Amino acid sequence: MPAVAHPEIPLEERLIFAVDLPTVTAARQFIDRLEGQVRFFKLGLELFMTGGIFELVDELCRRDARVFVDLKFFDVPATVGRAVARLAERGASFATVHGNQGMMEAAAAAKGERLGILAVTALTSLDRGDLDDLGFACDLDALVLSRARRAFEAGCDGVVSSGLEVERLRQEVDGRLVVVTPGIRPLDNREADDQKRVVTPTQALQQGADYIVVGRPIRDARDPAAAAAAIQAEIRQAIAARAVP
C-alpha cells in the first residue's frame, strides 16, 4: 500500500462532491444540505450553462469552501491561457484541461498561485472499445501514464485519473502530482450507469489517490448528508491505514 503522497491535505477536503444539478438554485440548496459534511465542490458543464454560476463560485469561496471548476479546457493554447487567467481571479482551487502539450503548458503558465491545473488522462466513462472508436491504438494504462508524464512536464499540478490506474501512476510518474479520482462507487452503490471504470473510496485511496470525486451516490441517496458522512468516515479509515508504515 503506498504511503500518503500529500499528507498536508485536510481529511475533510479529500471528498469532492460533484454538483451535477440543473440550476444554480438547486445546486445552492443541495450544497446547504451538505453543510458540515462536504467542503469541496466540483462544478461542471451543466451548471455553467445556467445563469449565476460565477456568483455561486464566489459565494462558495467566501464561505471558505473549495471549488473545482471542471470545464476540461480544450482550445487554442492562447485562448486556454486567457480563460485560465480569468478563472484564477475567482478563487477556485482546481480546473481541468483536456488538451495537448501546448494547451497544458498555457494553462499552467496562466494559473497564478492559488489555482491548480489538473490534466484529464482518460475519462472514466471510456473503455477499450471507446478508445478504438477514438482512434487510440494504445491501451488505457499506457494512455494514462503518457498523459500524466506530459502533464508533469507541462507544469500542471496534477491529473484526473481512474482509480484503476492510480497505483501505476504513483509508481512511474513523479509523486508530487496530485491525483483526483472520479468514478467512485461505494460497495452498496454499484448500479449500472455511464461510468465504466469505477472503484470504491477505499480502493481509490489505497492505490494512492489524493482526492475522490463522488456525485450520484451522494446526490441520489435518501439522506445525502448521511451518505457523505459515511464516505468521509471511509476516507479517514483508508488514509489512516495508508499512514501506517
pLDDT for 186-213, tens place per residue? 865 545 444 444 789 999 999 899 999 9
State the CATH number of the domain containing residue 24.
3.20.20.70
How far is 178 from 170, CA to CA, in rounded Å? 10
User: Which residue numbers in the chain have pLDDT < 50?
Assistant: 126, 130, 134, 190, 192-197
| Residue 6 lies inside a defined structural domain of this protein | no
| Residue 44 lies inside a defined structural domain of this protein | yes
Find where cell 440543473 sits: 22
| Residue 69 lies inside a defined structural domain of this protein | yes
Rounded percentage of the chain residues whose pLDDT exceeds 70:
85
- Spell out the residues 6+ positions from residue 25 whose beta carbon is closer than 8 angstroms to its own: none
Domain assignment of residue 113, given as a range: 11-243
Find where cell 495508508 sits: 242
Q: Which three cell numbers stand for residue 65?
A: 469552501
Q: With contact defined as beta carbons under 8 Å apart, do 74 and 95 qualify?
A: no
| Residue 29 lies inside a defined structural domain of this protein | yes
Number of independent structural domains in the chain: 1
Helices 163-172 and 140-154: crossing angle, nearest 10°? 50
pTM equals 0.89
Q: Is the dihedral of CA 139, 157, 193, 47 positive or negative?
A: negative
Give the pLDDT of residue 103: 94
pLDDT for 61-77, tens place per residue? 999 999 999 999 999 99
42 in catalytic set: no
For residue 118, the SS3 value is strand
| Residue 178 lies inside a defined structural domain of this protein | yes
CA 108 vs CA 29, 155, 171, 232: distances in Å = 33, 5, 23, 31
42, 72, 111, 196: the catalytic one is 72
